[in-house]
């Protein structure tokens, strides 16, 4: 199955780079780092979810999932557990830039919706 969601990677990358530049230029010293951490956590989580989604589509098409499904499910919980632990231990994180960094999932979803509208009209 070919991955047709590569445009989401470009959208996420553009959002991340522009956010880091904006916070680096206009923000305080830790704001760009906080944005970057939020963006990285969201992008890694989104990539793991895409892998799990593709495997579940294969299961829906009556293909056996194999151990990769369990690997990505366990990896998702380990990653999110580690991220939550790290976030609870850090002291320099600034909340608003971090939350703006996590909105990359919304930006990717919006770009997916726009692409689907164009696809439906053609």
Using CA atoms, how far apart are residues 24 and 60, in angstroms rounded to an integer?
A: 45
Tokens encoding 15: 């959002």
Q: Are 112 and 8 in contact (CB under 8 A)?
A: yes
The closest of 114, 111, 115, 116 to 12, measured between CA atoms, is 111
Q: What is the pLDDT along the chain (122 residues), one digit of tens a residue?
A: 455 556 667 778 888 889 899 999 998 888 999 999 999 998 888 888 888 888 888 888 888 888 888 899 999 999 999 999 998 999 898 888 998 888 887 877 777 777 777 777 76
Token pair in block for residue 19: 């956010």
State residue 74's pLDDT score.
Answer: 92
Domain locations in the chain as residue ranges: 31-121
Predicted local distance difference test score (pLDDT) of residue 121: 75
**Rounded to 5 degrees, what are φ and ψ at 61?**
-85, 20
Please report the pLDDT score of residue 29 as a whole number: 85
pLDDT, residue 82, reads 93
With b for 16 or more beta-carbon neighbours within 10 A and e for fewer, the 13-38 pattern comes to eebbeebbeebeeebeebbbbbbbbb
Model pLDDT, residue 78: 94
pTM: 0.77
Predicted local distance difference test score (pLDDT) of residue 89: 92
């Amino acid at each position: 199955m070919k991955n047709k969601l590569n445009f989401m990677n470009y959208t996420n990358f553009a959002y991340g780079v522009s956010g880091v530049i904006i916070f680096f230029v206009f923000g305080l010293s830790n704001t760009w780092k906080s944005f970057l951490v939020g963006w990285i956590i969201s992008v890694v989580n989104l990539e793991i979810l895409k892998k799990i989604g593709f495997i579940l589509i294969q299961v829906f098409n009556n293909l056996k999932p194999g151990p990769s499904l369990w690997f990505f499910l366990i990896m998702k919980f380990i990653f999110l557990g580690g991220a939550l632990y790290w976030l609870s231990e850090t002291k320099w994180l600034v909340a608003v830039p971090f939350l703006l960094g996590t909105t990359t999932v919304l930006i990717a979803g919006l770009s997916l919706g726009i692409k689907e509208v164009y696809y439906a009209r053609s």
